[in-house]
Amino acid sequence: MNIDLARAVAEDYFNGGHPLDRPREVAMHAFRDGYVAWVREPEAGDPSVLPDSAGGGCIVIDGATGEIAIRPLLSPETVAEQWPGRSPR
């Protein structure tokens, strides 16, 4: 799986049920075993205004199989470091 295919998978995952006229921007981080993807939230202009959502998660797309795993929203480097690798079936 390459980064373009991984981005398409991530955009479909995060935008699948979202209105087409307001797609969410997906950020990607490539690492040895795959890709970490998450929704990039817009920068808050006013710190006194609450964000549209609180918390969140990210996904890891396995580079060998394309399988998706949901992970907590930590830094992408931390998520990549904690990735156990491909699970034998």
pLDDT tens digit string along 12-43? 999 987 777 788 889 999 999 999 999 987 77
Cα→Cα distances 1→4, 41, 66, 74, Å: 8, 26, 7, 23
Model confidence, pTM: 0.81
* pLDDT for res 51: 65
- Higher per-residue confidence, 88 vs 28: 28
Question: Cα 62 to chain center, whole Å?
Answer: 12
Please give the helix or strand (H or E) that residue 35 lies within, else none: strand 34-39
Look at the block and give the residue holding tokens 């921007």.
25
Q: Where are the domains of the chain?
A: 3-41+55-82
Evaluate if residue 89 carries a pLDDT over 60. no
Beta-bridge partners for 30: 35
